[in-house]
């Protein structure tokens, strides 16, 4: 049941409100920096570049003045992965023959011969993964969902000038963020109903593939059916409000920070914009 | 008005399927326990396949892009290389849409011919694999023959629309497995050698493809009212 209760809070990461320099940066700047930083981390081939990028991220965390538990909350889920990565890198990892001291043996575990080159390679791989996880964590910790949607929308708008559907893409993202908590609640309700029928209960047994697939299908098929049925209602609501694809600052009305119930139908203005239509129809669903 | 309605419908479908993708990628519901080293197979790519089937390649592409970003941002996915996690996944919805639109109007003889050609191609691949690993080649051949036999039996029941849906779902799912693992090998992701990629591909890819086919046929048949005793598309 605890698993069912956690579904309504599906999010990319926890947002910690604040007034630091990182918090007040334009979301577009943060999104572009995330992209460039990620490419730099992935493409960096020298160890000192990887280390410098990691130190810069650590400095950004300090500048963001996040609570002490924030970095821990970001890193906790990936700790087992880091351990597996470290072991696999040490035993089977790539070893740069040009690296000085690469052949120096450090440890012998059975048939595997761990050399200094592999230890350095494992350290670089771990720092690289840590950097990427911390980078994504920093973005979601210092940027609210509505600010992210706003940044995405404004970044995509110039696409209209070259004939690409920038506004439509932004509206798609806004709908997804708006309905994520609503569908989370729906999934939770389906899970409770199936648990009551003893369809999704019991321990997980990886070898029983057909049973696991049936259990998942029992949850997911009603979720899809519900989501696709809502498509008709939302499309009708948008059409009824004469939505013409004009820009309407979707993020300000469409993506509340936590739950759909934060907004009421009273907040819908008389204009025919899509954000209003979305809020109105999602509140009435 | 008709065109405006269609355009709005596409945007809303893409948005809702994107929300389902995020929900599946960010919660344990999107992961089915399987007896492999990774421990679970994902079903978060299914909305991209359904988007491609219901509204065409563009919606499939948008939802696939969302799936790529969600995987990239998810703490449950350890690899953080966009060339492995985001770029190859763009083709999931597009491949599913192409296969579905290619087979949509196909009749029973055409579908049977496609199935047989696919079976022969997989048998040839199984022969090549059996030259290096005998048991793997035999396993692939048995799987291919049973899948082809099941497909022919299914077609015999008159469910051509459902067979087209299943083929699109399997193609989309295999596109995900093959392209992501291929990119992981090319980009030399830690621990993913060609042999490891091949074994992951079989152990994860086949259960994922089967589950995708089951869920996609169930969802799209329910939405579009297709099936044995219902009106055809």
Is B230 a domain residue? no
pLDDT at A2 over 50: no
pTM above 0.80, yes or no: no
Compare CB distances from B78 to A85, A179, A217 and report the shortest one's residue: A85
Residue A99: predicted pLDDT: 61
Residue B17: predicted pLDDT: 93
Contacting residues of B for A172, CB less than 8 Å apart:
11, 14-15, 18, 62
CA distance B211 to chain A (A): 6
Distance of CA B80 to the CA centre of its chain: 22
Residue A60: predicted pLDDT: 92
A101 plus A196 within the same structural domain: no
Helices (H), B86-159: 91-103, 108-132, 134-156
Compare CB distances from B218 to A12, A207, A217 and report the shortest one's residue: A217
Contacting residues of A for B39, CB less than 8 Å apart:
206
Residue where a domain stops, chosen among A90, A108, A143: A143
Compare CB distances from B11 to A125, A172, A184 and report the shortest one's residue: A172
Contacting residues of A for B218, CB less than 8 Å apart:
217, 221
CB crowding B8-46: b at 16 or more within 10 Å, else e: bbbbbbbbbbbbbbbbbbbbebbbbbbeeeeebbbbbbb
Lowest mean pLDDT: which of A63-72, A110-119, A188-197, B153-162?
Answer: A110-119
CA distance A276 to A269: 7
A25 plus A121 within the same structural domain: yes
Interface contact B219-A221, CB threshold 8 A = yes
Interface contact B28-A38, CB threshold 8 A = no
Is B233 a domain residue? no
Residue A257: predicted pLDDT: 43
CA distance A83 to A102: 22
Residue B120: predicted pLDDT: 86
Residue B60: predicted pLDDT: 93
Domain that holds residue A169: 165-284
Which residue shows structure tokens 């029973």? B108
Is A11 a domain residue? no
A93 plus A201 within the same structural domain: no
A123 plus A65 within the same structural domain: yes
CA distance B191 to chain A (A): 6
CA distance A132 to chain B (A): 7
Task: Work out the mean pLDDT of chain A and round it to a whole number.
Answer: 73
Is A197 a domain residue? yes
A116 plus A170 within the same structural domain: no
Confidence of residue A246 (pLDDT cuts 50, 70, 90): low
In this predicted complex, what is the ipTM? 0.80
CA distance A11 to chain B (A): 7
Domain that holds residue B194: 2-224
Is A189 a domain residue? yes
Compare CB distances from B76 to A77, A89, A173 and report the shortest one's residue: A77
Q: Report the residue of chain B nearest A11, measured CA to CA.
A: B26
Is A92 a domain residue? yes
First to last CA, chain A: 25
pLDDT tens sequence across B67-113:
888 887 766 666 677 888 889 999 999 999 999 988 877 777 877 88
The encoded tokens of residue A126 equal: 């771990």
Pick among B15, B30, B70, B208 to test the A interface (most A CBs inside 10 A):
B15
Is A73 a domain residue? yes
Residue A216: predicted pLDDT: 81
Is B231 a domain residue? no
A120 plus A202 within the same structural domain: no
Residue A284: predicted pLDDT: 46
When divided into structural domains, chain B yields a total of 1
Contacting residues of A for B73, CB less than 8 Å apart:
12-13, 136, 140
CA distance A272 to chain B (A): 14
Is A149 a domain residue? no
Residue A263: predicted pLDDT: 36
CATH code for the domain of B24: 1.10.1760.20
Residue A258: predicted pLDDT: 42
Is B86 a domain residue? yes
Contacting residues of B for A245, CB less than 8 Å apart:
7
- A residues 251..280 contacting B (CB < 8 A): none
Residue A46: predicted pLDDT: 79
A132 plus A177 within the same structural domain: no
Pick among A153, A228, A240, A244 to test the B interface (most B CBs inside 10 A):
A228
Residue B229: predicted pLDDT: 45
Residue A249: predicted pLDDT: 47
When divided into structural domains, chain A yields a total of 2
3-state helix, strand, coil in chain A (%, to 5): 70, 5, 25
Confidence of residue A55 (pLDDT cuts 50, 70, 90): very high
Distance of CA A222 to the CA centre of its chain: 24
Is A2 a domain residue? no
Is A191 a domain residue? yes
Low-confidence residues in chain B, pLDDT < 50: 227-233
Confidence of residue A130 (pLDDT cuts 50, 70, 90): confident
CA distance A5 to A13: 17
Is B91 a domain residue? yes
Q: What are phi and psi of B42, to 5 degrees?
A: -95, 150
Residue of B191 and A190 predicted with greater confidence: A190
């Amino acid at each position: 049941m605890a698993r069912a209760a956690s579904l309504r809070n599906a999010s990319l990461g926890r947002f910690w409100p604040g007034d630091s320099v990182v918090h007040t940066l334009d979301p577009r700047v943060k999104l572009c920096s995330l992209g460039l930083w990620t490419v730099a981390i992935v493409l960096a081939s020298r160890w000192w570049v990887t280390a410098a990028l990691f130190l810069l991220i650590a400095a950004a965390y300090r500048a963001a003045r996040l609570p002490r538990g924030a970095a821990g909350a970001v890193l906790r889920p990936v700790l087992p992965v880091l351990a597996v990565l470290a072991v696999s890198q040490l035993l089977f990892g790539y070893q740069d023959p040009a690296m000085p001291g690469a052949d120096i043996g450090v440890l012998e575990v059975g048939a595997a011969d761990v050399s200094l080159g592999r230890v350095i390679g494992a350290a670089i791989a771990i720092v690289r993964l840590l950097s990427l996880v911390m980078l994504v964590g920093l973005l979601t910790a210092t940027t609210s969902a509505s600010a992210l949607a706003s940044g995405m929308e404004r970044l995509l708008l110039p696409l209209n000038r070259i004939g690409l559907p920038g506004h439509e893409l932004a509206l798609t993202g806004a709908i997804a963020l708006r309905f994520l908590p609503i569908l989370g609640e729906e999934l939770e309700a389906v899970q409770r109903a199936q648990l009551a029928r003893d369809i999704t209960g019991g321990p997980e047994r990886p070898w029983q593939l057909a049973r696991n697939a049936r259990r998942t299908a029992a949850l997911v098929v009603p979720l899809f059916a519900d989501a696709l049925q809502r498509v008709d209602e939302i499309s009708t609501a948008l059409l009824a409000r004469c939505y013409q694809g004009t820009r309407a600052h979707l993020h300000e009305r469409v993506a509340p920070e936590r739950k759909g119930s934060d907004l009421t139908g009273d907040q819908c203005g008389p204009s025919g914009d899509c954000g209003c239509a979305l809020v109105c129809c999602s509140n009435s669903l | 008005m008709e065109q405006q309605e269609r355009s709005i419908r596409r945007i809303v479908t893409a948005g809702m399927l994107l929300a389902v993708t995020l929900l599946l990628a960010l919660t344990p519901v999107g992961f089915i326990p399987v007896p492999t080293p990774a421990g679970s197979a994902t079903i978060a790519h299914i909305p991209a396949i359904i988007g491609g089937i219901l509204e065409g390649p563009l919606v499939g592409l948008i939802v696939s892009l969302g799936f790529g970003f969600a995987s990239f941002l998810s703490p449950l996915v350890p690899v953080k290389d966009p060339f492995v996690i985001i770029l190859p996944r763009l083709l999931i919805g597009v491949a599913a849409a192409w296969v579905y639109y290619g087979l949509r109007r196909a009749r029973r003889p055409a579908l049977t011919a496609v199935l047989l050609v696919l079976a022969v191609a997989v048998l040839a691949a199984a022969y090549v694999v059996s030259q290096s690993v005998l048991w793997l080649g035999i396993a692939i051949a048995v799987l291919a023959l049973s899948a082809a036999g099941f497909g022919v039996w299914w077609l015999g029941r008159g469910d051509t629309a459902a067979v087209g849906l299943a083929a699109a779902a399997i193609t989309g799912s295999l596109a995900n497995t093959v392209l992501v693992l291929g990119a992981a090998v090319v980009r030399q992701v830690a621990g993913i050698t060609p042999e490891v990629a091949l074994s992951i591909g079989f152990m994860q890819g086949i259960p994922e493809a089967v589950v995708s086919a089951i869920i996609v046929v169930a969802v799209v048949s329910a939405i579009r009212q297709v099936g044995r005793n219902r009106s055809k598309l």
